[in-house]
Amino acid sequence: MAKDFWAKHENLYYALTNKKVIFGLTIVAFVFLLAAFGPMIAQYEYDEYAGQGYLPPSSEHFFGTTIDGKDVFTRTVNGLRSTLLVGAIAGSIATLIGCIIGFVAGYYGGTIFDELLMMLTNIFVVMPQLALLIVIAAFLEVRGTFVMAVIVASTAWPWTARAVRSQTLSLKNQEYVSLSRISSISVGRILREDIASNMFSYVFMVFIQQFNGTMLATVQLEFLGLGPTKGISLGLVMQNAVNWNGIQLGMWWWAIIPGLILTILITALYFINTGLDAAFNPRLREM
């Protein structure tokens, strides 16, 4: 039984046994668990005076305290939760829009429809991203998680649309699609086995890359003070640290730890993606 399952889902098997994927997934899982359960472990409120200022990491304050005595661990895990949520929702929206527009444009490649869709996409591509984000973010006085995600996603989807379009175009013209056609198998099976299966791994990787990008964009906005109007975020923790000259004052834990978590997460996502690339592509599989 189990053997049958793996034979059918060979890709999944290769993905889950790839060392880079395992390594990346472990770290990502750890960061997610931190975001999910950290706030429960934390003994303080993120804005509460938790003790003395200037304290380095200890068993009392895992990540130390800020200059005004707030608990950095509490702030970081709460911020991480908010930032991850925005990044994940934004990444999903961007992937979804990008894939739909890209797939439709590619499928109708060369028609007026395709051309219109690509015109729209190109307009978004040439728009200066940060400037646009600042304008939108500043315009909206109250920004919750979802609004933040939409703002970030609005400039993130175009490159996915472009990439997915060219992927669809090239898949559509593959000779193996022609071979399936002259083998008289159903259109559904062609879409599934020849188009979608070659697309699925790609879309999956696109999503991870999007998530990567939207996380960074989110932190960037938060750092500029354009994050959610309520609550704490990863970018905001770092912004505070920089504003208070945390590093110059020797409080490395304040700015470095949140930054490190972000860096580790992004590196882990990158590992997953390169590992998946090898797993999904039989050509790159280590035999």
Partner 1 sequence: MAKNKDVVMSVQGLTKVFKSGILNPEYTVAAKDISFDIEKGKIISLIGESGSGKTTVGKLILKLINPSEGKIIYNGKDISEIKEKEETKQYYRRVQGIFQDPFATFNPLYRVDRVFDLIFDSFDLDYEDKDQAIREALFDVNLNPDRTLGKFPHQLSGGQLQRLLIARALLMDVDVLIADELISMLDASTRIGVLNLLVESCKKHGMAVIFITHDLNLGYYISDHSLIMYKGRLVERGDTKKVYENATHPYTQMLFEAVPEIGERWDPDEEFLPEQVVQDVKEFYQENQGKGFVEIEEEHSVLFSDK
Residue numbers at the binding site for partner 1 (CB under 8 A): 11, 110-112, 114-115, 174-176, 178-185, 193-194, 197-198, 281-283
DSSP assignments along 152-191, one per residue = HHHHHHHHHHHHHHHHHHHHHT-HHHHHHHHTT--HHHII
Smallest gap from residue 189 Cβ to partner 1 (A): 9
Maximum Cα–Cα distance across the chain: 76
Show contacts of 124-128: CB within 8 Å, 24+ apart: 124/154, 124/155, 124/157, 124/158, 125/158, 125/159, 125/162, 127/155
Q: Which residue, 38 or 109, has its beta carbon nearer to partner 1?
A: 109
Q: Which residue, 130 or 196, has its beta carbon nearer to partner 1?
A: 196
Q: Which residue, 110 or 144, has its beta carbon nearer to partner 1?
A: 110
Smallest gap from residue 116 Cβ to partner 1 (A): 9
Smallest gap from residue 19 Cβ to partner 1 (A): 21
Can you read off the two tokens belonging to residue 258?
């949140």
Q: Which residue, 183 or 248, has its beta carbon nearer to partner 1?
A: 183
Place of tokens 């609004």: 147
Smallest gap from residue 177 Cβ to partner 1 (A): 8
Q: Which residue, 117 or 251, has its beta carbon nearer to partner 1?
A: 117
Q: Which residue, 160 or 180, has its beta carbon nearer to partner 1?
A: 180
Residues whose CB is less than 8 angstroms from the CB of residue 259 and which lie 6 or more positions away in sequence, other chains included? 238
Smallest gap from residue 111 Cβ to partner 1 (A): 7
Beta bridge partners of 65: 71
By CB neighbour count within 10 A (0-12 exposed, 13-18 middle, 19+ buried), where does 182 fall?
Answer: exposed
Cβ atoms 158, 125 nearer than 8 A: yes
Smallest gap from residue 274 Cβ to partner 1 (A): 18
